[in-house]
Amino acid sequence: MTTSVGIIANPSAGKDIRRLVAQGRVVSNQEKANILRRVYSGLVATGVDRVVVMPDTSGLARPAIYDTRGQIETQWLDFTPTGSQGDSTRAASMMRDLGVSCIVTLGGDGTNRVVSKGAGETPLLPISTGTNNVFPRMTEGTLAGLSAGALATGEVERDEACRRSKRLDVVVDGETVDASLVDAAVSRQMFVGARAVWEPQSLYSMFLTRAEAGCIGLSSIGARLKQVEIDDPFGIYMRFDGEADETATRVKAPVGPGLVSSVDVMGWRVIEPGESIEIDLRPGTIALDGEREVEMLKGQTVEVSMALDGPWVVDVDHVMRLTAIQN
């Protein structure tokens, strides 16, 4: 049986408008290529047979392929990249159909959001190269390759190597139109525009699946109210507009790289799996994992609900502990 791992690297991650309005780091394509070289070295060391790669106009995987020629097979997915979000979703779906054991992603929360749409039950191993990331972490490429290889070769099983993420579904007039993995932020801004959200003053309300103290971005606001981990069976709903209630509070949070803001939270509460909350703002937009994606129009019924069956996520630290014990 052929063992295989997928790789989806977003050449645009780490280069959005937040480099102009904040002190966000820029991750060059050369550094992304170097990360992939380290991922490949880990895959080769664990004996993986094949790597399935999403094509991109920058050819990020080519140096890694050159390094490991004769040691591991690389299969390029057969489609022409368009440079749009749809490339990552399409690639993930094709990799799922090919039976890869997991998909290594290079990007931010937004990259992983669109990958998860096509990945199905295939676990993701996210390496952070974007902005304000909660879903992907700063994982060393070699360790990512070793962990992906351990999963692919059966040294560890999915249920012991992975954690299940949550998901927020956006429902318009009874139809699910999109989803996020970490946050869904309702904004008074009327148009999608530059997509990225970095001004908490424009927020009307927000839904979170995770609120961890050590993270940066919009979810850091929720972390000042209640800590919520990836596999906690609940989320947080917050309001920034309207009359204050007994839970009103002012928090200071790192909403972006170099951006620490004081935010007035007029009310907040825990949200449960399957619970739907209607949004009463019109017009406006909803940002999903930091990027405005959904425009809300007059006459529409818009709701957000939380589900527990989001993508599987490889826990690299846990896999490395398991393999160390077994060896």
- Per-residue confidence (pLDDT) for residue 105, from 0 to 100: 97
Length of the chain: 327
Instruction: pLDDT tens for the chain, 327 residues: list them.
Output: 799 999 999 887 654 545 444 556 677 899 999 999 999 999 999 999 999 999 998 899 999 999 999 999 999 999 999 888 899 999 999 999 999 999 999 998 989 999 999 999 999 999 998 655 788 888 999 999 999 999 999 999 999 999 999 999 999 999 999 999 999 999 988 765 445 555 778 899 999 999 998 888 889 999 999 999 999 999 999 999 877 777 788 999 998 888 898 999 999 999 999 999 999 998 899 999 988 889 999 999 999 999 999 999 999 999 999 999 766
Question: Do residues 181 and 135 make contact, with C-beta atoms less than 8 angstroms apart?
Answer: yes
Domain architecture of the chain: domains with CATH: 4-165+311-326 (3.40.50.10330), 167-307 (2.60.200.30)
CA distances from 121 to 11, 98, 103, 143 (A): 25, 13, 11, 22
